[in-house]
Amino acid sequence: MKASPTYASIAAILALVGALALVAVYYPMLNPEQFSLDSGQDSAPLGRYLFGTPASLFILAAAWHFNCQAMRKKQQEKEEKLVNKPLD
């Protein structure tokens, strides 16, 4: 059973979600004019940054962890393939 594609898929999905969450948190700073038009507020509440930043960074850290697991599993599968390879 190859586990590395599963871990790699999870890592890619988490990285995408984490990046989108981080951009969503800092949207008022990235595009303040559009934010004021969308929400009718001049600035975002502080809680948006206090809770959103650690949450998105946690998701990105989980993506990094799953990516490391995928690379480790892929290396183990390569080593097993070389060990089990019959000699000619």
Residue 1 has pLDDT above 60, yes or no: no
Tally of domains in the chain: 1
Confirm whether 88 is domain-assigned. Answer: no
Residue 87 has pLDDT above 70, yes or no: no
- pLDDT tens-digit profile of 45-65? 889 899 999 999 999 999 999
Instruction: Provide the residue range defining the domain that includes 31.
Output: 4-83
Residue 33 has pLDDT above 70, yes or no: yes
pTM of the model: 0.82
Confirm whether 76 is domain-assigned. Answer: yes
First and final C-alpha spacing in the chain: 26
- pLDDT tens-digit profile of 15-32? 999 999 999 999 888 888
Residues near 10 by beta carbon (within 8 Å), at least 6 away in sequence: 63, 66
